[in-house]
Amino acid sequence: MLIISQNPIYNIFLGHLLVIKMKAFISIDLEGLPYVVIPGHLNLKGSLYQEAREIATKIALTVAKELKNHGFEKVVLADSHGPMVNVIVDNLPEYVEIVRGNPRPTSMVNGVEGCDVAIFLGYHAKFGTVRSTFDHTYSGGTVHNLEINGISVSEFLLNAYTAGDYGVPVIMVAGDAQLIEDDIKKYAPWVETVTLKHSLSRLAARSKSMIVIEKELKEAVQVAVKKFKEKKMQSLIAEKKVKVGLTFRTSLMADIAELLPTVTRIDGLKVEYIADNMIDAYNIFQLLVAAASGTNSLMQWLQ
Protein backbone atom coordinates (compact mmCIF):
# COMPACT_ATOMS: atom_id res chain seq x y z
CA MET A 1 0.00 0.00 0.00
CA LEU A 2 1.44 3.38 -1.03
CA ILE A 3 0.84 6.15 1.49
CA ILE A 4 0.79 9.65 0.00
CA SER A 5 1.81 12.39 2.39
CA GLN A 6 0.62 15.97 2.22
CA ASN A 7 4.27 16.94 2.43
CA PRO A 8 5.49 17.22 -1.21
CA ILE A 9 9.15 16.91 -0.19
CA TYR A 10 8.41 13.55 1.44
CA ASN A 11 6.60 12.37 -1.67
CA ILE A 12 9.56 13.30 -3.88
CA PHE A 13 11.89 11.39 -1.55
CA LEU A 14 9.54 8.39 -1.56
CA GLY A 15 9.42 8.45 -5.34
CA HIS A 16 13.19 8.21 -5.53
CA LEU A 17 13.14 5.22 -3.21
CA LEU A 18 10.67 3.44 -5.48
CA VAL A 19 12.91 3.80 -8.54
CA ILE A 20 15.02 0.67 -8.96
CA LYS A 21 18.33 1.50 -10.62
CA MET A 22 19.53 -1.40 -12.74
CA LYS A 23 22.96 -2.11 -14.20
CA ALA A 24 23.71 -4.44 -17.11
CA PHE A 25 26.90 -6.20 -18.13
CA ILE A 26 27.94 -6.95 -21.72
CA SER A 27 30.85 -9.18 -22.75
CA ILE A 28 31.74 -8.96 -26.43
CA ASP A 29 33.98 -11.35 -28.36
CA LEU A 30 34.89 -11.19 -32.06
CA GLU A 31 34.79 -14.71 -33.50
CA GLY A 32 31.02 -15.06 -33.22
CA LEU A 33 30.26 -11.72 -34.86
CA PRO A 34 28.67 -11.50 -38.31
CA TYR A 35 30.99 -11.17 -41.33
CA VAL A 36 34.09 -12.03 -39.24
CA VAL A 37 35.53 -15.04 -41.08
CA ILE A 38 39.31 -14.82 -41.62
CA PRO A 39 42.30 -14.47 -39.28
CA GLY A 40 42.85 -10.97 -40.64
CA HIS A 41 39.73 -9.91 -38.74
CA LEU A 42 41.09 -10.97 -35.37
CA ASN A 43 44.50 -9.48 -34.61
CA LEU A 44 45.84 -5.97 -34.15
CA LYS A 45 47.77 -6.01 -37.45
CA GLY A 46 45.15 -7.92 -39.39
CA SER A 47 44.11 -6.73 -42.85
CA LEU A 48 40.43 -6.56 -41.84
CA TYR A 49 40.82 -5.84 -38.12
CA GLN A 50 39.35 -2.33 -38.44
CA GLU A 51 36.24 -3.79 -40.06
CA ALA A 52 35.83 -6.24 -37.17
CA ARG A 53 36.26 -3.39 -34.66
CA GLU A 54 33.51 -1.40 -36.35
CA ILE A 55 31.18 -4.40 -36.38
CA ALA A 56 31.85 -5.09 -32.68
CA THR A 57 31.29 -1.45 -31.73
CA LYS A 58 28.02 -1.16 -33.68
CA ILE A 59 26.59 -4.34 -32.15
CA ALA A 60 27.71 -3.51 -28.60
CA LEU A 61 26.27 0.00 -28.71
CA THR A 62 23.02 -1.18 -30.31
CA VAL A 63 22.46 -3.52 -27.37
CA ALA A 64 23.62 -0.96 -24.79
CA LYS A 65 21.24 1.68 -26.14
CA GLU A 66 18.32 -0.74 -26.06
CA LEU A 67 19.15 -1.67 -22.46
CA LYS A 68 19.16 2.02 -21.59
CA ASN A 69 15.76 2.40 -23.25
CA HIS A 70 14.40 -0.38 -21.05
CA GLY A 71 15.40 0.82 -17.63
CA PHE A 72 19.11 0.13 -17.23
CA GLU A 73 20.84 3.23 -15.92
CA LYS A 74 24.37 1.91 -16.49
CA VAL A 75 26.01 -0.61 -18.83
CA VAL A 76 29.42 -2.17 -18.15
CA LEU A 77 30.98 -3.30 -21.43
CA ALA A 78 33.81 -5.85 -21.22
CA ASP A 79 36.00 -5.90 -24.32
CA SER A 80 36.75 -9.62 -24.40
CA HIS A 81 38.77 -10.71 -27.42
CA GLY A 82 42.55 -11.17 -27.58
CA PRO A 83 44.29 -8.08 -26.17
CA MET A 84 40.79 -6.83 -25.28
CA VAL A 85 41.10 -3.40 -26.89
CA ASN A 86 38.78 -3.98 -29.86
CA VAL A 87 35.76 -1.75 -29.25
CA ILE A 88 36.17 1.78 -30.62
CA VAL A 89 35.76 4.14 -27.68
CA ASP A 90 35.45 7.49 -29.47
CA ASN A 91 31.70 7.87 -29.07
CA LEU A 92 30.77 5.83 -26.01
CA PRO A 93 27.53 7.07 -24.41
CA GLU A 94 27.85 8.51 -20.92
CA TYR A 95 25.98 5.54 -19.42
CA VAL A 96 28.54 3.02 -20.76
CA GLU A 97 31.65 2.09 -18.79
CA ILE A 98 34.21 -0.05 -20.61
CA VAL A 99 36.61 -2.68 -19.29
CA ARG A 100 39.69 -3.04 -21.52
CA GLY A 101 43.04 -4.78 -21.48
CA ASN A 102 44.38 -8.24 -20.73
CA PRO A 103 45.20 -9.99 -18.41
CA ARG A 104 42.63 -9.12 -15.76
CA PRO A 105 40.76 -11.06 -13.04
CA THR A 106 37.92 -13.22 -14.43
CA SER A 107 38.97 -12.11 -17.90
CA MET A 108 35.92 -11.97 -20.20
CA VAL A 109 33.48 -11.30 -17.36
CA ASN A 110 35.48 -8.76 -15.38
CA GLY A 111 32.98 -6.14 -14.24
CA VAL A 112 29.98 -8.46 -13.97
CA GLU A 113 29.94 -8.25 -10.17
CA GLY A 114 27.20 -5.94 -8.92
CA CYS A 115 25.27 -6.06 -12.20
CA ASP A 116 21.69 -7.25 -12.47
CA VAL A 117 21.97 -9.08 -15.80
CA ALA A 118 24.62 -10.20 -18.28
CA ILE A 119 24.58 -10.36 -22.08
CA PHE A 120 27.19 -12.12 -24.23
CA LEU A 121 27.79 -10.92 -27.79
CA GLY A 122 29.90 -12.41 -30.59
CA TYR A 123 30.26 -15.76 -28.81
CA HIS A 124 31.32 -18.92 -30.64
CA ALA A 125 31.44 -22.71 -30.24
CA LYS A 126 34.10 -24.63 -28.35
CA PHE A 127 37.19 -26.26 -29.87
CA GLY A 128 36.50 -29.20 -32.14
CA THR A 129 32.99 -28.15 -33.19
CA VAL A 130 32.15 -29.12 -36.77
CA ARG A 131 31.63 -26.22 -39.19
CA SER A 132 32.02 -23.38 -36.72
CA THR A 133 34.12 -20.32 -37.49
CA PHE A 134 37.24 -20.10 -35.36
CA ASP A 135 36.11 -22.90 -33.04
CA HIS A 136 38.25 -22.73 -29.91
CA THR A 137 38.00 -22.58 -26.15
CA TYR A 138 39.54 -19.42 -24.73
CA SER A 139 43.01 -19.96 -26.24
CA GLY A 140 43.20 -21.65 -29.62
CA GLY A 141 46.94 -22.18 -29.35
CA THR A 142 46.92 -23.94 -25.98
CA VAL A 143 43.53 -25.39 -24.98
CA HIS A 144 42.21 -28.60 -26.52
CA ASN A 145 39.41 -29.08 -23.98
CA LEU A 146 38.18 -27.45 -20.77
CA GLU A 147 35.92 -29.27 -18.32
CA ILE A 148 33.96 -27.86 -15.40
CA ASN A 149 32.74 -30.61 -13.07
CA GLY A 150 33.03 -33.12 -15.90
CA ILE A 151 31.24 -31.01 -18.53
CA SER A 152 33.18 -29.93 -21.60
CA VAL A 153 32.54 -26.20 -21.73
CA SER A 154 32.62 -23.38 -24.24
CA GLU A 155 33.48 -19.81 -23.32
CA PHE A 156 29.74 -19.26 -22.88
CA LEU A 157 29.52 -21.87 -20.12
CA LEU A 158 32.81 -20.82 -18.51
CA ASN A 159 31.66 -17.21 -18.33
CA ALA A 160 28.03 -17.95 -17.45
CA TYR A 161 29.11 -20.14 -14.51
CA THR A 162 31.41 -17.36 -13.30
CA ALA A 163 28.66 -14.75 -13.60
CA GLY A 164 26.46 -17.17 -11.67
CA ASP A 165 28.95 -17.12 -8.78
CA TYR A 166 28.21 -13.41 -8.54
CA GLY A 167 24.47 -14.08 -8.72
CA VAL A 168 24.15 -12.55 -12.18
CA PRO A 169 22.01 -14.36 -14.79
CA VAL A 170 22.90 -14.35 -18.46
CA ILE A 171 19.69 -13.23 -20.17
CA MET A 172 20.79 -13.01 -23.80
CA VAL A 173 23.46 -14.42 -26.11
CA ALA A 174 24.17 -13.41 -29.70
CA GLY A 175 26.64 -15.39 -31.77
CA ASP A 176 27.30 -18.49 -33.83
CA ALA A 177 24.29 -20.72 -34.54
CA GLN A 178 26.20 -23.84 -33.48
CA LEU A 179 26.92 -22.44 -30.02
CA ILE A 180 23.23 -21.71 -29.57
CA GLU A 181 22.32 -25.21 -30.68
CA ASP A 182 25.00 -27.09 -28.71
CA ASP A 183 25.20 -25.19 -25.42
CA ILE A 184 22.47 -22.65 -24.84
CA LYS A 185 19.49 -24.80 -25.77
CA LYS A 186 20.93 -27.62 -23.66
CA TYR A 187 22.18 -25.83 -20.55
CA ALA A 188 20.30 -22.49 -20.48
CA PRO A 189 17.12 -22.74 -22.59
CA TRP A 190 15.60 -19.69 -20.88
CA VAL A 191 18.26 -17.41 -22.40
CA GLU A 192 17.14 -15.22 -25.31
CA THR A 193 19.32 -15.74 -28.39
CA VAL A 194 20.18 -14.04 -31.67
CA THR A 195 21.98 -15.91 -34.43
CA LEU A 196 24.64 -13.63 -35.89
CA LYS A 197 26.12 -16.19 -38.27
CA HIS A 198 25.59 -19.68 -39.68
CA SER A 199 29.06 -21.13 -40.07
CA LEU A 200 29.87 -23.03 -43.25
CA SER A 201 33.41 -23.97 -42.24
CA ARG A 202 36.11 -22.71 -39.89
CA LEU A 203 36.71 -19.78 -42.26
CA ALA A 204 33.30 -19.17 -43.84
CA ALA A 205 29.83 -18.18 -42.65
CA ARG A 206 26.48 -16.80 -43.78
CA SER A 207 25.02 -13.72 -42.05
CA LYS A 208 22.03 -11.41 -42.53
CA SER A 209 22.39 -7.70 -43.26
CA MET A 210 23.35 -5.44 -40.36
CA ILE A 211 19.95 -3.73 -40.67
CA VAL A 212 18.18 -7.00 -39.91
CA ILE A 213 20.68 -7.96 -37.21
CA GLU A 214 20.23 -4.67 -35.36
CA LYS A 215 16.46 -5.14 -35.45
CA GLU A 216 16.75 -8.68 -34.08
CA LEU A 217 19.14 -7.54 -31.34
CA LYS A 218 16.74 -4.82 -30.18
CA GLU A 219 13.81 -7.23 -30.16
CA ALA A 220 15.83 -9.81 -28.23
CA VAL A 221 16.82 -7.24 -25.58
CA GLN A 222 13.18 -6.29 -25.13
CA VAL A 223 12.10 -9.90 -24.67
CA ALA A 224 15.06 -10.77 -22.42
CA VAL A 225 14.49 -7.78 -20.11
CA LYS A 226 10.77 -8.58 -19.90
CA LYS A 227 11.53 -12.19 -18.95
CA PHE A 228 14.07 -10.99 -16.38
CA LYS A 229 11.54 -8.64 -14.78
CA GLU A 230 9.04 -11.50 -14.70
CA LYS A 231 11.68 -13.61 -12.88
CA LYS A 232 11.90 -16.13 -15.72
CA MET A 233 15.69 -16.00 -15.94
CA GLN A 234 18.08 -18.20 -13.96
CA SER A 235 21.75 -18.05 -13.05
CA LEU A 236 23.95 -20.96 -14.05
CA ILE A 237 25.60 -22.23 -10.87
CA ALA A 238 28.52 -24.66 -10.86
CA GLU A 239 28.52 -27.24 -8.09
CA LYS A 240 31.04 -26.46 -5.32
CA LYS A 241 33.84 -27.36 -5.10
CA VAL A 242 34.71 -26.81 -8.73
CA LYS A 243 36.70 -29.56 -10.44
CA VAL A 244 38.51 -28.29 -13.53
CA GLY A 245 39.96 -30.53 -16.21
CA LEU A 246 42.28 -28.87 -18.72
CA THR A 247 43.61 -30.69 -21.78
CA PHE A 248 46.43 -28.88 -23.56
CA ARG A 249 47.52 -28.95 -27.19
CA THR A 250 51.01 -30.29 -26.34
CA SER A 251 52.56 -32.33 -23.55
CA LEU A 252 55.11 -29.59 -22.80
CA MET A 253 52.24 -27.32 -21.76
CA ALA A 254 51.04 -29.98 -19.32
CA ASP A 255 54.66 -30.36 -18.07
CA ILE A 256 54.65 -26.66 -17.15
CA ALA A 257 51.18 -26.76 -15.56
CA GLU A 258 52.14 -29.75 -13.41
CA LEU A 259 54.75 -27.60 -11.63
CA LEU A 260 51.92 -25.91 -9.71
CA PRO A 261 51.48 -27.99 -6.50
CA THR A 262 47.67 -27.80 -6.63
CA VAL A 263 47.58 -29.28 -10.15
CA THR A 264 47.41 -33.05 -10.77
CA ARG A 265 48.71 -34.59 -13.98
CA ILE A 266 46.18 -37.01 -15.49
CA ASP A 267 47.92 -38.03 -18.73
CA GLY A 268 50.23 -36.64 -21.37
CA LEU A 269 48.00 -33.66 -22.17
CA LYS A 270 45.51 -33.33 -19.30
CA VAL A 271 45.74 -31.82 -15.82
CA GLU A 272 43.13 -31.29 -13.12
CA TYR A 273 42.68 -29.04 -10.11
CA ILE A 274 39.95 -28.19 -7.60
CA ALA A 275 38.90 -24.64 -6.71
CA ASP A 276 36.57 -23.35 -4.02
CA ASN A 277 34.43 -21.45 -6.54
CA MET A 278 34.22 -20.48 -10.21
CA ILE A 279 36.00 -17.18 -9.67
CA ASP A 280 39.09 -18.94 -8.32
CA ALA A 281 38.75 -21.66 -10.95
CA TYR A 282 38.74 -19.05 -13.72
CA ASN A 283 41.78 -17.18 -12.43
CA ILE A 284 43.82 -20.38 -12.01
CA PHE A 285 42.79 -21.38 -15.54
CA GLN A 286 44.06 -18.03 -16.84
CA LEU A 287 47.37 -18.56 -15.09
CA LEU A 288 47.80 -22.04 -16.59
CA VAL A 289 46.93 -20.80 -20.08
CA ALA A 290 49.45 -17.97 -19.75
CA ALA A 291 52.13 -20.42 -18.64
CA ALA A 292 51.28 -22.75 -21.50
CA SER A 293 51.46 -19.89 -23.98
CA GLY A 294 54.94 -19.15 -22.72
CA THR A 295 56.13 -22.56 -23.93
CA ASN A 296 56.14 -21.19 -27.49
CA SER A 297 58.71 -18.60 -26.47
CA LEU A 298 60.65 -21.27 -24.61
CA MET A 299 60.79 -23.48 -27.70
CA GLN A 300 62.04 -20.61 -29.84
CA TRP A 301 64.73 -19.77 -27.28
CA LEU A 302 65.92 -23.38 -27.23
CA GLN A 303 66.41 -23.61 -30.98
pLDDT per residue over 11-70, tens digit each? Answer: 444 444 445 789 999 999 999 999 999 999 999 999 999 999 999 999 999 999 999 999
Residue 300 pLDDT: 83
Residue 16 pLDDT: 45
- Half-sphere exposure of residue 77, counting CA atoms within 13 Å on the CB side? 30
Average pLDDT estimate for 65-90: 98
SS3 call for 145: strand
Radius of gyration of the chain (CA): 21
Enter the DSSP assignment of 180: I
Percent of the chain having pLDDT more than 70? 94
**What predicted TM-score, i.e. pTM, was given to this entire model?**
0.93
Residue 30 pLDDT: 98
Residue 19 pLDDT: 57
CA-wise closest residue to 264 among 276, 275, 279: 275
d(CA 97, CA 92): 8
* 1 vs 55, higher pLDDT: 55
Residue 130 pLDDT: 97
Q: Are 63 and 221 in contact (CB under 8 A)?
A: yes
pLDDT per residue over 160-198, tens digit each? Answer: 999 999 999 999 999 999 999 999 999 999 999 999 999
Please give, one letter per residue, the 3-state secondary structure of 37-62. Answer: CCHHHCCCCCCCHHHHHHHHHHHHHH
Average pLDDT estimate for 191-210: 98
In Å, how far from its chain's centre is CA 73?
Answer: 21
Average pLDDT estimate for 242-269: 98
Residue 4 pLDDT: 41
pLDDT per residue over 279-300, tens digit each? Answer: 999 999 999 999 999 998 888 8
- Half-sphere exposure of residue 21, counting CA atoms within 13 Å on the CB side? 8
d(CA 263, CA 274): 8
pLDDT at position 203 over 50: yes
Alpha helices in 123-265 (DSSP H): 155-165, 177-179, 185-187, 210-229, 251-257
Domains of the chain listed by start with CATH number:
21-137+154-229 (3.40.50.10780), 242-302 (3.30.1360)
Whole-angstrom CA distances from 27 to 61, 92, 114, 251 are 12, 15, 15, 32
Q: Are 25 and 119 in contact (CB under 8 A)?
A: yes
Average pLDDT estimate for 135-151: 97
pLDDT tier for residue 145 given thresholds of 50, 70 and 90: very high
How high does pLDDT run on average in the chain? Answer: 94
pLDDT per residue over 87-122, tens digit each? Answer: 999 999 999 999 999 999 999 999 999 999 999 999
d(CA 154, CA 245): 13
Average pLDDT estimate for 122-141: 97
